[in-house]
Amino acid sequence: MERIDNKLLESILTEDIVTKLFKGNFGLEKENVRVSKDGKLSLTPHPAIFGDKLKNPYIKTDFSESQVEVITPVCNSIDELYDYIENLQNIVSLSIGEEYLWPQSNPPILPSNEEIPIAVFSEEGKEERLYREKLSEKYGRKKQLLSGIHYNFSFKEEFINSLYKSLGEGESLKEFKNKIYLKITRNFIKYRWFLIYLTGASPVFHETYLDRCTDDIQELADRSCYFKNMMSLRNSKWGYKNKEDYLVNYDSLEQYIGSIQRLINDGKLDNASEFYGPVRLKSTCKRCSQEKLMKDGIEYLEIRILDLNPLNKNGIFIEDLYLVHLFMIYMLFMKEGTLTESEQKIANINHKVATMAGRREDSFIYNNVGEKASFKEEALKIIDDLIDIVNKMDYKTDYLRKVIESAREKVLDVSKTYAAVITKEIIDSSYVSFHLNKAKDYYEESKRQDFSLIGYEDLELSTQILLKNAIKRGIGVEVLDREENFVRLKKDNKVEYVKQATKTSKDSYSTVLVMENKVVTKEVLKENGVRVPSGKNYNSIEDARADYELFKDKQIVVKPKSTNFGIGISIFKEEFSKGDFTRALEIAFENDKTALVEEFISGKEYRFLVIADEVVGILHRVPANVQGDGARTISELVKEKNKHPLRGKGYKTPLEKISLGEIEEMFLKAQGKNFDYVPKEGEIVYLRENSNISTGGDSIDFTDEMHESYKTMAIKSAKAAGATICGVDMMIQDIKVPLNESNYGIIELNFNPAIHIHCYPYIGKNRGAGDKVLDVLFGK
């Protein structure tokens, strides 16, 4: 603990603000190049679904048209951040058609330099294009394809304020903040070798990157190569670096800006963005001048040394994010120290050792007093300090200890480092196939998570889908009230409030009220020539009896106005006497003070999702069932069916697992069956009467099979109520027979139709309902 500023540490501990130390402002920027299924750099354009790359805040291109960059919004915690990067990973990898995201910082099989496509921009992006062309000339396009992760971080204002109150020495808050971040930066520069060792994950590259495998490179079978003991090509001299290791002054913000400016004046850099240091001091103003940074002060730090980790779908393990954060805290807690030019040069040497020779058992670095020291021993000292810090703070102690102990293992056993593991795996298979297999696995994993927005699984699936679709298009999303599924969407200057995915500004309040009121809905539909179960409400049995004549030649349902589980309902499909009618009324009136006599409409029920005068999807629901194979029991068939990836428990998935409970048992018993019954091949056995998805029912898409006439009627019904977004429940006798006056009937209009059911049916296609809602809100 000799390096720790104990006064500082204690002041934080007593200030009871440890929690705030872990609630910072976190952001990630991650690049991946797109590759074809054979591991070659994709030459196709950035997918149109992501919209204008200048305007989508989440999904852009970096240098190359083939290089997708995802950017999380500012998150309050690492957990939130990790969820976001995972969502972006899932969204992008499922939206790039037949291609994969290359999970490695080092590029896949590359074409010639000139064939690498620079990102294409609209007229508005002219400068972006010019800048990229300059880079291309100066560094070559291949180098620009090295992809990685930038980690942006700042403490919460409240935390800085607390520190300022207890440690400020008369300077302004801004000056104090600059001081804090500069201290962290100086220390980070000195000790970054530690993180490179632990996170470096680009040890092998493809021959096409350097155009040849040189003498000191081990060549592998598939034309890939590696430097022995390398951790990170990307951080090495062959990586994404300036022509030289420029020395920059970090003593004060003014000096920092001054030294960058000198590099620009000397023609070494084109602008400040071209300074590829391991860490950058930033203001939240993007593309702002250095003067602006001076004025605003340092608002966050950008850590630039993290490789894509191909061992993780998201390019980084969450444990490593915690490790980085702990490391930053450690840098904060260190005693004040200088970063002279010579110290900076030492740090650069140590950086090289970590990238190139980190895996040598006997590698050494220069310690902070400038003496040679064992790499391993110096790293262990840091590990011990980190453990000490964690022990002193009452925050996720066990978890954080594990994170550090895992780092310790990597220090003690170099074969456990990501670089070593990756190298070994590549030697065992090949550079391309190792990464392609990973990419495929990750694609499948994303696919399994398609219906959920990680970190927001408490939201309704419809809302999760809507948000994912919004993010994909670059529509800003914000959850205003999680319990209510209330979100705000923003694009350019347009703001839309949406609740439960389909309650939007596009429907007027009175339209919703019409749909909400069953009596009014029927009235409105009837007036518009739509067939609804005709019927009447009665408040007295006498009034109802008097209308016997009206109904006696029809098929009718007699029911209480409000009914649960079909209690009190009588159905007459054939002729019935006044006595029968009276008895049915008596039963209905036992259950409610209002009874309904309604025409019985036969057929199957279909849900039409109508959005802006278009039928987006049509769904029919079937009660929980299994289909026999002549061999397995019902129990076994249910178990098998429940393995379906869309089936889960507790409405977290589009379909629910079928239960083998009492109700199912009773229902089978009524059919003379039990769970051990072996259905014949092709025999369908139902386990429930109701077709609810929530009790294991199947949803089957009929959008393409439905006769057009019913779609036209569904649209007409929605229009009658004035609805933009509407679930139309229609009874249909035969979906292949054109609609006529008596073979269908509208049961209900739903003003808050679920969209997820049309995206993830048990049988059928994803109808992209979320995108349709967004089309209506923001245009196509």
In the complex, the residues that contact a copy of itself under the rule CB under 8 A are 16-17, 19-20, 158, 162, 480-481, 484, 486, 496-499, 503-514, 517, 519-520, 523, 546, 549-550, 722, 751
Interior/surface letters 381-402, b for 16+ CB within 10 angstroms, e for the rest: bbbebbbebbebbeeeeeebee
Distance CA(84)–CA(268), nearest Å, equals: 37
Closer CB to a copy of itself, residue 381 or residue 488? 488
The least CB distance from residue 17 to a copy of itself, in Å, is: 8
Least CB distance from residue 526 to a copy of itself, whole Å?
A: 12
In the complex, least distance from residue 751 CB atom to a copy of itself, rounded to whole angstroms = 8
Q: Which two tokens stand for residue 158?
A: 């409240």
CB of 503 to a copy of itself, least distance (A): 5
Shortest separation between residue 75's beta carbon and a copy of itself, angstroms: 18
Q: Which two tokens mark 79?
A: 């957990």
Tokens of 677: 């019954």
Contact assessment for residue 568 and residue 615, using Cβ atoms and an 8 Å cutoff: no
- Min dist CB 537 to a copy of itself, Å, is 10
Residues in the chain: 780
Q: Which is nearer to a copy of itself, 385 or 507 (CB)?
A: 507
Pick left, alpha or beta for residue 683 (phi over 0 → left; psi -120 to 50 → alpha; otherwise beta). Answer: beta
- Residue number with CB closer to a copy of itself (454 or 725): 725
**Long-range contacts (CB closer than 8 Å, 24 or more residues apart) made by 382-388:** 382/191, 382/194, 382/330, 383/407, 383/408, 383/411, 385/1, 385/3, 385/4, 385/330, 386/326, 386/327, 386/330, 388/1, 388/4
CB–CB of 720/570 below 8 Å? no
Task: Calculate ∠ Cα 164-168-172, nearest 5°.
Answer: 85
CB of 480 to a copy of itself, least distance (A): 5
* 488 vs 743: CA distance, rounded Å: 42
121 touches 53 (CB < 8 A) = yes
Dihedral of alpha carbons 663, 665, 669, 675, sign: positive
Angle (CA) 328-331-337 rounded to 5° is 155
CA dihedral 83, 69, 319, 250 (to 10 degrees): -120
Give the SS3 label for residue 748: strand
Nearer to a copy of itself, 509 or 565 (CB): 509
C-alpha span between 347 and 367 (Å, rounded): 9
Cα separations in angstroms, 307 against 128, 236, 359: 24, 11, 16
Task: Kindly state the smallest distance separating residue 666's Cβ from a copy of itself, in Å.
Answer: 38
The smaller minimum CB distance to a copy of itself, of residues 327 and 751, is found at: 751
The amino acid that residue 497 corresponds to is Y
Cα dihedral 648→651→654→656 (10° resolution): 50
Asked if residues 603 and 533 have their Cβ atoms less than 8 Å apart, the reply is no
* Smallest separation, CB 701 to a copy of itself (Å): 27
**Which structure tokens are listed for 405?**
């102990």
Instruction: For a copy of itself, give the closer residue by CB, 122 or 510.
Output: 510
Calpha distance 727→747 (Å, rounded): 11
Helix (H, G, I), strand (E, B), or coil: what is residue 114? helix
Choose between 478 and 734: whose C-beta lies nearer to a copy of itself.
Answer: 478
Contacts of 744 (CB under 8 A, 6+ apart): 531, 601, 603, 710, 713, 730, 731, 732, 733
Q: Which position has the token pair 């980085």?
A: 324
Which C-beta is closer to a copy of itself: that of 717 or that of 743?
A: 717
Kind and range of the H or E element at 423?
helix 418-428
Nearest distance, CB of residue 207 and a copy of itself, angstroms = 55
> What is the smallest separation between the CB atom of 382 and a copy of itself, expressed in angstroms?
30
* Separation CA 69–CA 58 (nearest Å): 8
d(C-alpha 365, C-alpha 349), whole Å: 8
Which value, to the nearest 10 degrees, does the dihedral of the CA atoms of residues 729, 731, 736, 737 take? -130
Interhelix angle 318-333/173-199, rounded to 10 degrees, is 130
Nearer to a copy of itself, 269 or 512 (CB): 512
> Partners of 571 in the beta sheet?
557
Q: Which is nearer to a copy of itself, 515 or 616 (CB)?
A: 515
Cβ proximity to a copy of itself, 17 vs 323, nearer residue: 17
Token pair, residue 85, equals: 């990067």
Q: Which is nearer to a copy of itself, 74 or 387 (CB)?
A: 74
- For the CB of residue 303, give the shortest distance to a copy of itself in the complex, in Å: 28
Smallest distance, a copy of itself to C-beta of residue 752, A: 9
- Minimum separation from the CB atom of position 721 to a copy of itself (A): 9
Q: CA 530 to CA 524: how far, in whole Å?
A: 9
Question: Tell me, what amino acid is at 6?
Answer: N
Nearer to a copy of itself, 234 or 522 (CB): 522
CB of 573 to a copy of itself, least distance (A): 25
Nearer to a copy of itself, 285 or 513 (CB): 513
Least separation, in Å, of the C-beta of 14 and a copy of itself? Answer: 14
Q: In the complex with a copy of itself, which residue's Cβ is closer, 182 or 773?
A: 773
Nearer to a copy of itself, 481 or 613 (CB): 481
Q: In whole angstroms, how close is the CB of 544 to a copy of itself at the nearest point?
A: 12
- Give bridge partners of residue 219 from the DSSP assignment: 225
147, 105 Cβ separation under 8 angstroms:
yes
Task: Record the tokens describing residue 518, joined without a space.
Answer: 């069953």
How many CB atoms sit inside 10 A of residue 273's CB?
11
Nearer to a copy of itself, 185 or 521 (CB): 521
* Exposure letters 417-430 (e unless 16+ CB within 10 A, then b): bbbbbbbebbbeeb
In this complex, which beta carbon is closest to a copy of itself, that of residue 3 or of residue 518? 518
